[in-house]
Amino acid sequence: MFAVVMLAGIYGLVCASFFVAMDAVDVAFTEASIGAGISTLLMLTTVAMTGRTDHEATHKPLMAFVAVIVTGGLLIYGTFDMPYFGSADAPVHQHVGPHYIYDSIQEIGVPNMVTSVLASYRGFDTFGEVTVIFTAGIGVLALLSVARRPEDDAVMEAINDSMHEKHLILRIVIKTMIPFIVLYAFYVQFHGDYGPGGGFQAGVIFAAGIILYAMLFGLGAARRVITQPVVQMLSALGVLVYGSVGLVSMLNGGSFLDYNVLAADPIAGQHLGILLIELGVGLTVASVMIIIFYSFVGRSQFQKANKGELL
Partner 1 sequence: MLAHLPILQVIVPLMAAPACLILSRPKLVWLFTLLVSTITFFISIFLLQQVMSTGTVSYELGGWSPPWGIEYRIDKLNAFIALIISGVSTVVLLAAQTSIEKEIPENKQTLFYILYLLSLTGMLGIVTTGDAFNVFVFLEISSLSAYSLIALGKDRRALWASFQYLIMGTIGATFILIGIGLMYQMTGTLNMVDLAARLPEVAETRTVTTAYVFFIIGVCLKLALFPLHFWLPNAYTYAPSIVTTFFAATSTKVAAYLLIRFTFSIFGVSFSFTTLPMETLFLALGLLGIFVASTVAIYQQNVKHVFAYSSVAQIGYMIVGFSMSTHAGLSAMLLHMFNHALMKGALFLALGAVMYRIGSTRIDDFRGLGRQMPLTMAAIVIGGLSLIGVPLTVGFVSKWYLVTAAIDKGWWPVAGLVLLGSLLAVVYVWRIVETAYFKTPITGKDPVKEAPMAFLLPVWMLVLANVYFGIDTRMTVEVATGAAQSLFGVAP
Nearest by Cα to 107 from 92, 95, 123, 128: 123
Please state the closest distance from residue 97 (CB atom) to partner 1, in A.
7
What region does 53 belong to: left with phi over 0, alpha with psi -120 to 50, or beta? beta
CB 299 within 8 A of CB 49: yes
CB 245 within 8 A of CB 123: no
Minimum CB distance to partner 1 smaller for 36 or for 141: 141
Minimum CB distance to partner 1 smaller for 127 or for 217: 127
Minimum CB distance to partner 1 smaller for 226 or for 236: 236
Minimum CB distance to partner 1 smaller for 14 or for 68: 68
Q: How much helix, strand and coil, in percent to the nearest 5, is found in the chain?
A: 80, 0, 20
Please state the closest distance from residue 136 (CB atom) to partner 1, in A.
6
Please give the residue ranges that form the binding site for partner 1 (CB under 8 A).
Answer: 74-75, 77-83, 90-97, 99-100, 120-125, 128-129, 131-132, 134-136, 138-139, 141-143, 145, 147, 232-233, 235-237, 239-240, 243, 246-247, 250, 254-261
Minimum CB distance to partner 1 smaller for 218 or for 295: 295
CB 200 within 8 A of CB 118: no
Please state the closest distance from residue 148 (CB atom) to partner 1, in A.
11
Q: Environment class of residue 3 by beta-carbon count within 10 Å: exposed (0-12), middle (13-18) or buried (19+)?
A: exposed
